[in-house]
Amino acid sequence: MAASSSLFSTSFQGVMSFQNTNLCYKEFNCRYSNFIRKQSSHSNSKYLTHSRLFPNERSSEFGQNDKFSQKNGFLCRTLKIENLPSFSVGNKFQLTDVIESQQFDRDLLSAIFEVARDMEKIEKNSPGSQILKGYLMATLFYEPSTRTRLSFESAMRRLGGEVLTTENAREFSSAAKGETLEDTIRTVEGYSDIIVMRHFESGAAKRAAATAGIPVINAGDGPGQHPTQALLDVYTIEREIGKLDGIKVALVGDLANGRTVRSLAYLLARYKDVKIYFVSPDVVKMKDDIKDYLTSRKIEWEESSDLMEVASKCDVVYQTRIQRERFGERIDLYEEARGKYIVDSHVLEVMQKHAVVMHPLPRLDEITVDVDGDPRAAYFRQAKNGLYIRMALLKLLLVGW
């Protein structure tokens, strides 16, 4: 859809004489938020960029797609019309579901983080918010959860909404009777406005979203992805370190089965000059699909077996537990992997002063309790940030920006 000229307020500034060259230009007196347009659920917003152009300015100072021509002593500039996402208040959210980290680019991430900061103010200052009054969220958790389920339920209630919940849908729902996931989703969507689901099978969230006519949020699908965890992780890194470009991150522990580290790797690839270190036992190394993706995005990565060396270089040490539930009957492999990499006071000694230790929790013994008292232990602050991110996502999916 072409941008209408009525969207723009223009003022003709006349003809200027500058070093015997006449220059004609228009100044577009408008701001980005004044002329955003949307189409369907995604933005096809158009905008014009303009700087005052003088004869001694080189064309290289502008975008490669800017075109210039001189006719009858006038220097004219053709401005490129481009797409921008619309994050203005009142507009619809760009996503209909939250299923995987690849859905988010850095502009959308930044906008979501702004909403999360607003949610933090609401949580601290306005406990009686009614933003989601009249909305009902259903949580379908086929695997155990403490932080994710409770933070979603807290987020919904803090915004004035209501909750329908199942703590162990695998055992205490009709799934135990053989009901298909699709039939469950079709039923539950009739009772609610949004579904938050955790499932033991990778890809289950995509199946649910394809079935449902209401938003679906993936709260973890087996060894697949956990996008809301990755969002709160990146949000935490930005708050703790102060930047996302140019950081070094160590992903430690069960990288083969850990959905959190997979989702986080996808999001870190949105930023510039990031380096990721993979530190894990051989039996649970990061899978090739993530490595290939990072390589395709020109993100530097390195595998290492030396946690102490890596920790001394990194801004973030992201520890994860070895997940026994993913090993099935191969307890021997679990025991082989468990306890190999532990973050303790010795690791803290080599870490930089500004660096932080993160963990998606729960932990077993992979971070010793004496680390908790160090200000660089960020994992409980990280868990708290999950509330703000999930408040933001519920608000955006149900009522928009």
pLDDT digit of tens for each residue in the chain (401 aa)? 433 333 333 333 333 333 433 333 333 333 333 333 333 334 333 333 333 233 333 333 334 444 444 445 544 554 554 565 688 888 999 999 999 999 999 999 999 999 999 999 999 886 679 999 999 999 999 988 888 999 999 999 999 999 998 766 555 555 556 789 999 999 999 999 999 999 999 999 999 999 999 999 999 998 889 999 999 999 999 999 999 999 999 999 989 888 899 999 999 999 999 999 999 888 889 999 999 999 999 999 999 999 999 999 999 999 998 866 656 667 776 666 677 889 999 999 999 999 999 999 998 889 999 999 999 999 999 999 999 999 999 999 999 99
User: Position of tokens 């949105």?
Assistant: 270
Given the residues 226, 248, 275, 340, select the one marked as catalytic.
226
Q: Using the CB atoms, write b or e for 302-311: b if 16+ within 10 Å.
A: eeeeebeebb
Q: How many CA atoms lie within 13 A of 149 on its CB side?
A: 18
Given the residues 139, 148, 184, 236, select the one marked as catalytic.
148
Annotation marks residue 147 as catalytic:
yes
User: Position of tokens 């929790």?
Assistant: 361
Say if residues 398 and 135 touch (Cβ distance below 8 Å).
Answer: yes
Say if residues 345 and 368 touch (Cβ distance below 8 Å).
Answer: yes
Annotation marks residue 52 as catalytic:
no
Annotation marks residue 177 as catalytic:
yes
- Rounded CA separation 268/286 (Å): 15
Given the residues 198, 199, 262, 275, select the one marked as catalytic.
198
Annotation marks residue 149 as catalytic:
no
pTM attached to this predicted model:
0.76
Q: Which structure tokens are listed for 106? A: 């850095």
Q: Helices marked H in 133-278 — which ranges? A: 147-158, 181-188, 204-211, 227-241, 259-268
Residues with Cβ within 8 Å of residue 58, at least 6 apart in sequence:
none
Q: How many CB atoms lie within 10 A of CB 113?
A: 20
Given the residues 31, 52, 177, 353, select the one marked as catalytic.
177
Given the residues 37, 147, 285, 324, select the one marked as catalytic.
147
Q: How many CB atoms lie within 10 A of CB 267?
A: 22
